[in-house]
Amino acid sequence: MTHSLLSRLKLSAITLITLITVGCGKSVDDERVPYSEVHISFTTVAEWNLYGVKGDAADYRRYILAKGVTEPAGFPYKASDHTGYSGILLVSDVMGNLIVYDLACPYDPTPSVRLEIPDGELHARCPKCGSTFDIYTNHGNPRSGPAADHGYALQRYNITSGGALQYRVITR
């Protein structure tokens, strides 16, 4: 073999090993929560200011419309509104961007067990399994507990600016 061919083979082998190594990095599974309809609309800026998040870093609000539970109290839910599998967690991240998650823990999704944000903490915690999730800076990725051991991240939803009759809309 010529020196040139040997160099190209070495380069090809190194490239292949690099691609395999990078491609096999640990990823998270963020689709473990069963499918459920998601739709909440804020029709005016005033409604958003009253029931939404302010855009401050680490601001959050929970939305739950389920049998026997309505949160936040007084929110004008419409017949077309649905709050996901276990409820919705709307947060404002460290840059003021809006992010929406399902309140179900992806390790053991149960509609009645909802994530909590402990006072003064910057993560969400599952009261059942103890898993914690980075909701403000790392897209709902697990930090600790069985969800982290298995690589189960929170289910994310979309939030967009509405049309002529809506200020903001949360959807699947």
Euclidean distance between CA atoms 81 and 52, whole angstroms: 15
In CATH terms, the fold of domain 38-171 is Rieske Iron-sulfur Protein (2.102.10)
Question: DSSP assignment, residue 114?
Answer: B
Residue 8 CA: distances (Å) to CA of 14, 16, 36, 38, 45: 10, 12, 52, 53, 61
pLDDT tens-digit map of 1-56: 554 444 444 434 444 443 333 344 456 777 889 999 999 999 999 999 999 998 78
Report CA-CA distances (Å) from 55 to 10, 96, 162: 52, 5, 17
Q: Determine the Cα–Cα distance for residues 117 and 123; give it in Å rounded to an integer.
A: 6
- What per-residue confidence (pLDDT) applies to 14? 42
The predicted pLDDT at position 82 comes to 97
Domain ranges in the chain?
38-171
